């Protein structure tokens, strides 16, 4: 008698930080070269959750409310050079909220990571949430 093959889902684990970083790297590499050049010096990090200070500042109800965050001065406000003591522009992607969102929606994990990354890069370019929503509506 042959054993039934095990369910392939039984061996799966939630993607680790490094795997989300790899998805973000792939998404970034797929951006047009002219956008990637404008992102020179932009730091992209993946963390499990935002810190308490960020949650308070963004007025989040739970630690799952924020999928990503841009911190810094958008390119239009930054100019050609950084000011003394100024940190580089940074993007955070938050793994656990992204995984939670993924579990509740039909999008692939890669599509979600790409969307969050591109959205935060939009802030690096100086776009507001309203600007990006309008662009998405026109594209869709």
Name the region of 79 (left: φ>0; alpha: ψ -120 to 50; beta: rest).
Answer: left
CA angle 82, 87, 89 (to 5 degrees): 85
pLDDT at 127 over 90: no
47 pLDDT band, cuts 50/70/90, is: very high
Burial of 40 (0-12, 13-18, 19+ CB in 10 A): exposed
Task: State the residue for tokens 């499990």.
Answer: 48
Helix (H, G, I), strand (E, B) or coil at 44: strand
Burial of 56 (0-12, 13-18, 19+ CB in 10 A): exposed
Architecture of the domain defined by 15-78+87-139: 2-Layer Sandwich (3.30)
> Tens digits of per-residue pLDDT, 3-27?
666 788 888 899 999 999 999 999 9
Does the model's pTM come out above 0.75? yes
pLDDT at 140: 59
Average pLDDT over residues 25-53: 94
């Amino acid at each position: 008698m042959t054993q039934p093959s095990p369910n392939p889902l039984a061996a799966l684990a939630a993607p680790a930080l490094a795997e989300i970083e790899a998805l973000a790297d792939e998404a970034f590499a797929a951006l047009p070269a002219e956008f990637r050049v404008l992102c020179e010096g932009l730091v992209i990090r993946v963390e499990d959750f935002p810190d308490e200070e960020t949650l308070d500042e963004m007025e989040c109800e739970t630690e799952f409310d924020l999928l990503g965050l841009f911190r810094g001065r958008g390119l239009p406000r930054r100019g050609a050079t950084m000011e003394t003591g100024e940190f580089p522009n940074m993007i955070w992607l938050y793994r656990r909220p992204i995984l939670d969102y993924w579990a509740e929606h039909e999008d692939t994990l890669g599509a979600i990571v790409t969307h969050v990354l591109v959205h935060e890069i939009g802030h690096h370019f100086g776009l507001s949430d309203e600007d990006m929503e309008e662009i998405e509506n026109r594209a869709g």
